[in-house]
Structure 1
C-alpha cells in the first residue's frame, strides 16, 4: 500500500477524469499533504463514488466496502506527499490503493472461512460431547453442576447450551448473538476451567 501511484490505468480500471478535474484533484491532494482538512473533504467528495463502486464490485459486501473505502482514504491522508502527478492521476492512485486493499480483504476473508471450515471438520471427527462425557463419568454429576457455578456467566451460558441443550457451536453463536470464534472460545475456556477445577485428566 505504501508504493507510489501507478500509471493512468492504475491496474484498477479507474476512469480518467477531464484535464481540468485532474489538475484540481492534484492540487487538492497537494493541500492534503500539507494537512488541509477542507481539501481532504473536497477530494473525498470528488472521488469517493468511483472508489466505492470499484471496491463494491470486488468485495460484494456493503459493510466490507465501507471499511475498505475508509482505510483507503486514511492511507491517502497519510501518504498524500508520496503522490507523483507525473506517474498518473489522483483518481488512478486512489483506485490502485482501493484495488489492493480490497484484494487483501478478500484473501483475509477466505482465510477466515477456511480456518472455520477446518475447525468444524476437526470437531466432526470427535464427538462434540466426548470431553463432557469423560468429565461426568469421572465425577458425580452433582459436583460437575456445582463447579459450573464457578464459571463466568458468559462461559456457563455457552457451556450449558452445548452440553445440556445440544446446541452446535454455530447455534450457540447465533443464540448469544456473538461471532462464532467468540462462542467457541467461551465454550473452550469454560470446559478447560471445569477440567482444571475437577482435576480431570483427559
Structure 2
C-alpha cells in the first residue's frame, strides 16, 4: 500500500529544507511506485533502476520547487519519474539514430560509387601503359618488388644480379613511372 499524499508532500518539504532523513523516508515510501512508473516506460529493469536513482537525485536537488498548492506530492514525484524515463528513451533513440546515420555515412565513404570505379579503372590503365614504357629489366624488378612482395636481396637472388644493380633498376623504374604518371603540362598555362 502506498503512502498517503499528505505524508509524501510533508517529506518533500523536509527534503527541500535539506533533511537527508526526509529523503531516506521518502525513498522508502515511494521507491516501488517510482520504479514501477519508470519501468513501464523503459521496459528494461537495469536501466529502470539506474533511472530511478537519477529521479531521487533530481528530487534532492529540486525539492525546493515543489509547491503543494499546485500538485500533490505523489503527482510531483511521479511526474519527475515519468519525465526522466521519457528523457532516457529519447536520448537512447537519438543515440541509435546518430549511430545509424554514422554507419550509413561510413558505408557510403567506404563503398565506392560508379564514378570511383571509373576513375580507378582509368588509373589502372594508365599504370599499365606506363609499366609498358619501362625497360624489360626495370618492369620485371618492379613487378617482383611490388606485386610479388620480394625484398631487394630476394630479387637479386632470383635474377642472378648484383644487389646494387637491382636497386638501380628499381630506383630508375620508379622514377620513370613517376614521370609517366605525372600530369603533362598545366591546363590553361
Please give the range of the TM-score, normalised by the shorter of the 2 chains: 0.5 to 0.7
TM-score, scaled to structure 1: 0.51
CA distance in 2 between counterparts of 1:22 and 1:123 reads: 53
Instruction: Give 1 or 2: higher helix fraction.
Output: 2
Aligned to 1:35, what secondary structure does the other structure show?
coil
Query: Structure 2 stretches of 5 or more lacking a match?
Result: 112-144, 147-189
CA distance in 2 between counterparts of 1:97 and 1:24 reads: 18
CA distance in 2 between counterparts of 1:28 and 1:100 reads: 21
TM-score, scaled to structure 2: 0.54
The total of aligned residue pairs comes to 114
Deviation at 1:112, TM superposition (A): 0.7
What is residue 82 of structure 1 aligned with on the other side? Answer: 65
What is residue 5 of structure 2 aligned with on the other side? Answer: 22
What is residue 45 of structure 1 aligned with on the other side? Answer: 28
The two structures, once aligned, show a CA RMSD in angstroms of 2.5
CA distance in 2 between counterparts of 1:46 and 1:62 reads: 20
Deviation at 1:55, TM superposition (A): 0.7
Q: Which runs of 4+ in 1 moved over 6 A?
A: none
CA distance in 2 between counterparts of 1:27 and 1:123 reads: 55
| Match 1:67 to one of 34, 39, 50 | 50
Q: Whose radius of gyration is greater, 1 or 2?
A: 2
What are the superposed Cα offsets for residues 74-117 of structure 1, whole Å, 9 maximum, x if unpaired?
Answer: 11111112211112211110111111111111111111111111
Deviation at 1:25, TM superposition (A): 1.6
Query: Structure 1 stretches of 5 or more lacking a match?
Result: 1-14, 129-139, 142-202
Written as runs of structure 1 = structure 2, the 5 A alignment for 1:1-202 is 21-127=4-110
Higher relative contact order (CA 8 A, sep 6+): 1
